[in-house]
Amino acid sequence: MGFIFSKSMNDSLKAQQEFMLMNSRLQLERQLLMQNQMRERQTAMQIAWTREFLKYFGTFFGLTAVGLTAGAIKKKNPGVLLPIVPLSFVFAYQYDMGYGTLLQRMKG
């Protein structure tokens, strides 16, 4: 009688172990899906923030370019246009991040 009882316990234990293994695999798959979804949301938020920042920075860059150009013409000194160079690099980077393929290139 002890043999029959222990055999049914072993079968029950094996079934429980298989269930726990299947459950842990399912939980791991769900965690991976949730991590991917959170990463996609974070990327979408970063792109949205960059596009919003680009609106304000583009306005600033445009006004600065017009103002510096007018100042360079008025003073007849092309050195006044020098700050446009680093501002244009920042503008190009932000534009590529918001509307270009920067994030895809970074992933690759």
**Closest C-alpha among 84, 56, 57 to residue 70:** 84
Looking at residue 59, its pLDDT comes to 97
Tens of pLDDT along the chain (108 residues)?
456 666 677 878 888 899 899 999 999 999 999 999 999 999 899 999 999 999 999 999 999 999 999 999 999 999 999 999 999 999 999 999 998 887 777 777
Cβ pair 50, 94 in contact under 8 A: yes
| Contact (Cβ atoms closer than 8 angstroms) between residue 58 and residue 106 | no
Asked whether 87 and 61 are in contact (CB, 8 A), the reply is yes
Distance CA(32)–CA(26), nearest Å, equals: 10
The two most distant CA atoms of the chain are separated, in Å, by: 108
With both helix axes pointing from N to C terminus, report the angle between 2-75 and 84-99 in degrees, rounded to the nearest 10: 150
To which residue do tokens 């055999």 refer? 7
Range of the domain at 62: 1-107
d(CA 72, CA 68): 6
pTM (predicted TM-score)? 0.68
| Token pair listed for 101 | 């393929």
Count of the separate structural domains present in the chain: 1
Residue 83 has phi, psi (to 5 degrees) of -65, -15
